[in-house]
Structure 1
Amino acid sequence: MAQFIKATAMTGLTRVISRILGLLAMILVARTLGPEGHGQYTLAYLLATTTIALMNFGLVPTTIYYLANGKYPRGQVLGHLVLFHLLSTALALSSGWLIVKHYADLFFPQTPRTYLDLSLLSIPGILTYRFLQGALLGTQRFDLYNLGQMFWAILHFILLALFVPILKMGVSGALVAEALSWSLSAALLWHWSRSVVPHWTSRINRVLLKGILRYGFYSYVGGLLAFFNERVDIYLINLFQGPKAVGLYSVAVGLAERLWFISHTASLVLLPRISASSDAKWKRRFTPLVTRTVLLMVLPPALLLALFARPILVLLYSEQYLPAARPLQILLLGIVAFSISRILAHDLAGRGHPLLNTYTSALSLAVNVVLNLILLPRWGITGAAWASALSYSSLLFSKIIFYRQLSGNTWRDIIWITRSDLHLYRITIQQALTHIKQRWRGSRT
């Protein structure tokens, strides 16, 4: 537990700094471009992330799982997976080009073709960066993972600040900044990954290849459904109300999703730990402790953000974005539910059951689409926010059902804070303060 807390704390600190820089970057872009331009930027970048979701083959969770469980040599695992990565990149680029050429007017009717073309430049960098992040997590090199995340966040902020408000390159500048930040960061992670696992071999192992295909397929389908569950509302808002509404809604989503770093941090550390452990009793106690802790950490900032949504939007983005206040408050309900479901998703995947995440994501996506089609035409982006919040809640409830069956834990175990939790938090804080004092005294001598 101590190692998990340390790794989570360091990853969490990195995430906090990265999220702050990401928020500042989002503010710069939104204030400079306005709701219409910000909406076009969001939609163009959505094209890149959509093609990545369609063609990633579940590569990241597969990389983490097979490197962490230690069944095969790491060099052999990465040698196989890098071939999938190259294929994934080629297919993502070609499919993105086909979408722009033949279906741009259908899916992005009010977004200039130039912006869509520029967004495709980010695809190789994003796919490579995420694949190598998976390699570092699978080898439990959280230090290098955190440094890489920090490097990307700083570079991303600097380039966006340079190209958008300073050089005034508009949406095109923002998309070029995205491509450069991902590509340069991927190059750094490539160097680190090769130093951690120096010898990669692509000599085919049929058993390993079959396992990668099976696990990757289940992870891919679940991840694809999860992606569209998170982003289908953007597509529908664009079709019903246009880029300006997308610009307003994406600001609400961006602010609400700042809270995801808590569950994302814990789940990133949890998956390799669960994958590497064969102790069923430890797994049964550990994941509920993480879910309860994440819930305790997410609720207070969510309540504060909901309470002060209007002044925060005016302060950060200007009065142009006030219509995003109500959707932001509603989305926070779903963010809390999604934070817990993400932890359970990584537990299920770590136990070797990624297909269960596919089932729950399919249900949640169906709920999301149906509710959006009903509520969005009537209530606009507020209706879209309700659809997302309710779909995330259905995702949580369905994951809890599967998790209970596998672990034997109850609903109360998953969400109810116990006295032993509070005792553990107190001891952990005391140990952290003692460690900080010792380091501070040592630095003075």
Structure 2
Amino acid sequence: MSYSVSQNTTFLTVAAVLQRAISFVYFIFIARAIGVENTGVYFFAIAFTTIFTVVADFGLGPVLTREAARFDTNSSAYLNTVLGTKLIFGVISYGVLIICANLLGYDALTKSMIYLSGITMFFDNIHATFYGILRAKKNLLFEGAGLIGSQFLTAIIGGVALYLGAPLYWLILAYTIPAGVNAIYAGFMARRILGAPVIPKIDFGLLQKFLVMAWPFAIAGLITRLYSYSDSIIMSKLLSPTELGYWSVPFKITFAFQFIPAALTASVYPAMSSFFITDRARVGELFVKATRYLFAVVFPLAFGLSAVAYPTLTTIYGAQYAPSVLVLRILLLSLIFGYVGFVTGATLNATDRQKTQTGLLLAALTVSVISNLILIPIWGIVGAAISAVIGNGFLAIAGTILVAKKIILPYAELWKYLWRTFIPAVIMGVIAYLSIVKISFMIVIPLVAIIYGILLFVFGAVDRDLLKRLFAKIC
């Protein structure tokens, strides 16, 4: 059974939004219940393990999906070979994780949390393989269901553990158990859709071919993960678990909003790839259109949330997280550059400049690590937040310059839409900041959202024709 592109996009988008929502609420309960220091240990164990998922996958996931989609009759052989290989790579990755955790000298509690999180990584790698073959079959319904079900089960197990005052490692087991269940479920669904046995059996000739295709994905994935989490590793050695706990809350908040540019770039990437062959001028137009939409979203997020950051964060997470407020405000500034970086990255990949994008990510990683090593010893988590602005700013600006060397960018249009969304967002932020002193943030947030919408009309960022087109697409 296969579905259309629009149906599959809907399945995965709805699932991703629900999964992020459940995860976000779940983390709030964790942060309030276990305290700042334990939250820091919990957050770091997951962040540290996330880096090693690239080793376990080694880029074979996207290769499996692509090749199985191209050569449908070989799907079963492809799956069995990749599954067998990833089982071995998963064990190797887990061993490397244990070695690194011990070499870095973490305490017993942190290491035990990392070890458990590593088992979760192993199961995640397996169910990702099964979902990869289902993607090749144009069936994302089961993946969406697995995504929501797994997160819901995590919330239930974790919620019970918090209620009973269970040891901290149960919050990791709350991910490990659903990951194992999800792997079994995904394997069953893959067998059902393929109509053939799923047996880990490596065809070494096929594996050699796949590894040649996979290594660029592996390198790009590793650089991306290191760019996202290298600051956490540096902080784990230079700062205390309590400071990592303060960092975890603003990081989680800003990370939650990254699905917006990810979803948008996923939809424009195929069109950009096609236009690059047939009509390059339209690639620039699509770049402007994507950036326009992201400006309209990220500016109010950055300025609006910054304005109400203190009462919102301390009310939701507790007064103990007050030191996280400044970090949140700085990371929200970084989010603006991060949104632009999503578009420039997608554009470079769509215009056959994958190596350039990988090189750019490597340069951004270098800039980020150097700035973190300089600023974290001086300003702690605030220094890490400033480094995030520097890294994302470099990625966005350098990415835009590199994009402009390949396609014609209408800079006048870009600046026009930037100011037409930036000024309303600043006005909205000022109103929110002045209002939050006397009015609850629960009233201020929807109120300034309405004001921002009106200002978009006033400044010409949105008009009736645009609304009609959006409404027509939704309907």
User: Given that residues 404 and 410 in structure 1 are in contact (C-alpha distance below 8 angstroms), is that contact kept between their aligned partners in structure 2?
Assistant: no
Q: Distance in 2 between matches of 1:421 and 1:208?
A: 51
Is the CA contact (8 Å cut-off) linking 2:56 and 2:125 kept in structure 1?
no
Correspondence for 1:318: 318
Q: Which moved more, 1:364-373 or 1:75-84?
A: 75-84
Partner of 1:119: 117
Q: Give the structure 2 partner of residue 336 of structure 1.
A: 336
Q: Counterpart in 2 of 1:443?
A: none
Instruction: Indicate the residue corresponding to 1:431 in structure 2.
Output: 472
Contact 1:230/1:388 (CA < 8 Å) preserved in 2?
A: no
Q: Deviations along 1:30-61, whole A, 9 cap, x unmatched?
A: 11111111111122223321221233212344
The equivalent residue for 1:154 is: 152
Deviation digits for residues 253-273 of structure 1 (CA, Å, limit 9, x no counterpart): 001111101012223445566
Q: 1:252 — aligned with what?
A: 250
Is 2:20 the partner of 1:22?
no
Alignment-derived partner of residue 442 in structure 1: none
Aligned to 1:129: 127
For residue 141 of structure 1, the aligned residue among 131, 139, 142 is 139
Tell me if structure 1 keeps the 8 A contact 2:81–2:206.
no
Instruction: Report the Cα offset of residue 195 of structure 1.
Output: 4.3
Which SS does the other structure have where 1:360 is aligned? Answer: helix
- Partners in 1 of 2:336 and 2:20 — Cα distance? 17
Q: Summarize the Cα distance change of 1:385–1:203 in structure 2 as closer, same or farther, 3 Å threshold.
A: closer
Q: Is the 2:86–2:126 Cα contact (8 Å) retained in structure 1? A: no
- 1:261-272 maps to which residues of 2 (within 5 A)? 261-271=259-269
The change in CA–CA distance for 1:6 and 1:351 in structure 2 (over 3 A counts) is farther
Alpha-carbon offset, residue 193 of structure 1: 3.7
> By how many angstroms is 1:65 displaced?
4.3
AA matched with 1:323 = P
TM-score, scaled to structure 1 = 0.83
CA offset at residue 347 of structure 1? 4.2
Is contact 2:246-2:321 (8 Å) kept? yes
CA distance in 1, matches of 2:141, 2:63: 21
Secondary structure at the aligned position of 2:165 is classed as: coil
Q: Distance in 1 between matches of 2:202 and 2:170?
A: 42
Aligned to 1:387: 387
1:398 to partner: Cα distance: 2.7
Aligned partner of 1:94 in structure 2 is 92
User: Normalized against structure 2, the TM-score is what?
Assistant: 0.78
Among candidates 163, 174, 177, match of residue 166 of structure 1: 163
Amino acid in structure 1 at the alignment position of 2:334 = G
Q: Distance in 2 between matches of 1:431 and 1:349?
A: 30
Task: Give the Å deviation of 1:298.
Answer: 2.6
Q: 1:272 to 1:153 in 2, by over 3 A?
A: farther
* Residues 1:377 and 1:173: Cα distance change in structure 2 (over 3 Å): same
Q: Report Cα offsets for 1:316-372 as digits up to 9, x if no partner.
A: 111111111111111112222222322433444455543222101101111111111
Query: Tell me, what secondary structure is at the counterpart of 1:171?
Result: coil
The one of 241, 247, 250 aligned to 1:243: 241
Once superposed, what is the RMSD of the aligned Cα atoms?
A: 3.4
Could you say which residue in structure 2 is the equivalent of 1:188? 185
1:59 matched to 2:56? The reply is no
Deviation at 1:420, TM superposition (A): 10
- Say yes or no: does 1:399 pair with 2:399: yes
Alpha-carbon distance in 1 for matches of 2:126, 2:117: 16
Residues of 2 paired with 1:339 and 1:95: CA distance?
31
Distance 1:221 1:183, change over 3 A: same
What is the distance in 2 between the residues matched to 1:254 and 1:227? 15
* Range that drifts further, 218-227 or 133-142: 133-142
Tell whether 2:364 aligns with 1:364.
yes
Q: Match of 1:56, as an amino acid?
A: D
Structure 2 residue matching 1:170: 3-state secondary structure:
coil
Higher relative contact order (CA 8 A, sep 6+): 1
Letter in 1 for 2:94: G
Q: CA contact under 8 A between 2:288 and 2:410: conserved in structure 1?
A: no
Q: Partner residue of 2:434?
A: none
Q: AA paired with 2:358?
A: T
**Alignment check: 8 A CA contact 1:232 1:369 kept:** yes
With 262-271 and 75-84 compared, the bigger mean Cα shift is at 75-84
Identity %: 19
Preserved contact between residue 75 and residue 198 of structure 1 (Cα < 8 Å)? no
Partner of 2:51: 50
Contact 1:4 1:269 in 2 (8 A): no
SS in 1 for 2:36: helix
CA deviations over 1:232-264 (Å, ceiling 9, x no partner): 111111111121111110111001111101012
Choose 138-147 or 200-209, whichever is displaced more: 200-209
Over 3 Å counting, the alpha-carbon distance change for 1:40 and 1:425 in structure 2 is same
Deviation for aligned residue 1:98? 4.4
Following superposition, the deviation at residue 129 of structure 1 comes to: 3.1
Spell out the pairing of 1:267-286 with structure 2 (5 A cutoff).
267-271=265-269, 280-281=278-279, 284=283, 285-286=285-286
Q: Which amino acid aligns with 2:186?
A: L
Aligned length: 427
Q: Secondary structure at the match of 2:58?
A: coil
Secondary structure of 1:344's counterpart equals helix
One of 208, 223, 228 as aligned partner of 2:226: 228
TM-superposed deviation, 1:113: 3.3
Residues 7 and 310 (structure 1 numbering): CA distance in 2 closer, same or farther, change over 3 Å? farther
**Matching residue of 1:295:** 295
Measured in 2, the distance between the counterparts of 1:292 and 1:196 equals 40
Larger CA deviation: 83-92 vs 49-58: 83-92
Measure, in 1, the Cα distance between the counterparts of 2:136 and 2:348. 16
Residue type matched to 2:323 in 1? P
AA partner of residue 395 (structure 2): L
In structure 1, which of residues 216, 219, 231 is the aligned counterpart of residue 217 of structure 2?
219
Deviation at 1:314, TM superposition (A): 0.9
SS at match of 2:468: helix
CA contact (8 A) 2:56 2:92 kept: no
- Contact residue 341 and residue 395 of structure 2 kept, 8 A: yes
User: How far, CA to CA, are the matches of 1:78 and 1:423 in structure 2?
Assistant: 51
In the alignment, structure 1 segments of 5+ residues that lack a partner are 436-445
Distance 1:342 1:74, change over 3 A: farther
| Rg comparison, structure with higher value | 2
| Residue matched to 2:33 | 32
Structure 2 residue ranges without an equivalent (≥5) = 421-459
